[in-house]
Amino acid sequence: MKIGFIGLGNMGGPMAANLAAAGHDVAGFDPAGVTAEGVAAVDSSEAAATGADVVITMLPSGAILREVAAQIIPAMQKGAVFLDCSTVDVTSARAVADDALAAGLSALDAPVSGGVGGAAGGTLTFMVGGDEAGFAKAKPLFDIMGQKAVHCGASGAGQAAKICNNMILGATMIATCEAFALADKLGLDRQAMFDVVSTSSGYSWSMNAYCPAPGIGPQSPADNDYKPGFAAELMLKDLTLAQQAAEAVDADTPMGTAARAIYAEFVENEDGRGRDFSAMLPRLSARKRS
């Protein structure tokens, strides 16, 4: 396919490179001027979109997505797929999809899970909202960039799935870190803690696959001084999106609300910015009961 890729940062760059390595003709643009291996650099979003079968965006916010969409939708050929892999608010995702559909395009919102490592390794999970025809056309690209793509429903459903998933992840990571901090103060060996919990009812992805304790379980950012695989400020962004959505539909999310407040304190007032979201463990270990 001829693919336009807009947003070649930590996530978008490796995703675009994987598509190019698989033999697709990829033209990429990033306003910061960064490039990706095998991707032909162009000088504007419109240039990346012109003549493309699929245009993929990986952008930092709903406002920027709307701005880029306004630029590229008029440049795209009818029948092309506008595939947005950003994590943004549901309202922006649906507004952009409406504009794309009105212009004769297919529109998909397909945020990802798996972090920078998943982007580089082609093992991302895509949560996809939008029309069936667009999903079918994009499926071979999902198979290159990731290990799983789930069609969640109409436009906005992908974003809804992402924020619900990450609300669970944020809350469970805090609970996992709290449990390790408590275990330490009770004199329980961390390895023994892991061996019990990872095979018992406390099993979770945060414990079993991404353990926040260094030297315990599979290798994770905890073993690399908490250099981010998924940065704490990105978790805060997703938890904020979840709370905005909850407020919009009048959903009661007390754990999600608490998780957002804890990550906000960590990122905005402590040393969490630029660290992995699992660095909540040393934060909690250093604190006393308030």
Same domain, 173 and 136: no
Same domain, 164 and 131: no
Q: State pLDDT tens for residues 63-98.
A: 999 999 999 999 999 999 999 999 999 999 999 999
**Is the whole-model pTM more than 0.75?**
yes
Helix or strand holding residue 77 (H, E): none
Same domain, 57 and 177: no
User: How confident is the model over 95-116, as a mean pLDDT?
Assistant: 95
Q: What is the pLDDT of residue 59?
A: 96
Q: State pLDDT tens for residues 2-59.
A: 999 999 999 999 999 999 999 999 999 999 999 999 999 999 999 999 999 999 999 9
The proportion of the chain whose per-residue pLDDT surpasses 90, expressed as a percent, equals 98
Is residue 162 part of the annotated active site? The answer reads: yes
Q: State pLDDT tens for residues 217-247.
A: 999 999 999 999 899 999 999 999 999 999 9
Same domain, 140 and 169: no
Q: What is the pLDDT of residue 290?
A: 81
Given a cut of 90, whether residue 114 has pLDDT beyond it is no
Q: Which of 78, 162, 185, 227 is catalytic?
A: 162
Q: Which domain holds residue 243?
A: 160-286
Cα separation, 27 vs 41, whole angstroms: 6
Q: Of 250, 248, 278, which Cα lies nearest the Cα of 263?
A: 278
Same domain, 147 and 107: yes
Given a cut of 90, whether residue 212 has pLDDT beyond it is yes
Same domain, 79 and 95: yes
Q: State pLDDT tens for residues 156-207.
A: 999 999 999 999 999 999 999 999 999 999 999 999 999 999 999 999 999 9
Would you give the distance in Å from CA 183 to the centre of its chain?
31
Same domain, 193 and 273: yes
**DSSP per residue over 213-259, as a string?**
STTSSS--GGGGTT--SSBHHHHHHHHHHHHHHHHHHT---HHHHHH
Given a cut of 90, whether residue 266 has pLDDT beyond it is yes
Q: State pLDDT tens for residues 139-156.
A: 999 999 999 999 999 999
Same domain, 92 and 176: no
What CATH number is given to the structural domain containing 53? 3.40.50.720
What CATH number is given to the structural domain containing 245? 1.10.1040.10
Same domain, 17 and 129: yes
Last residue of a domain, one of 123, 154, 185: 154
CA distances from 231 to 8, 16, 43, 235 (A): 18, 21, 29, 7
Same domain, 9 and 150: yes
Given a cut of 90, whether residue 117 has pLDDT beyond it is no
Domains in the chain, number: 2
Cα four-point dihedral sign 39, 18, 238, 90: positive
Q: What is the pLDDT of residue 196?
A: 98
The proportion of the chain whose per-residue pLDDT surpasses 70, expressed as a percent, equals 100
Burial, 138: exposed, middle or buried (Cβ in 10 Å; 0-12, 13-18, 19+)? Answer: buried
Same domain, 70 and 185: no
Last residue of a domain, one of 154, 184, 202: 154
User: How confident is the model over 90-113, as a mean pLDDT?
Assistant: 96
**DSSP SS3 for 53:** coil
Q: What is the pLDDT of residue 108?
A: 98
Last residue of a domain, one of 133, 154, 175: 154
Q: Of 178, 223, 231, which Cα lies nearest the Cα of 202?
A: 178
Same domain, 179 and 131: no
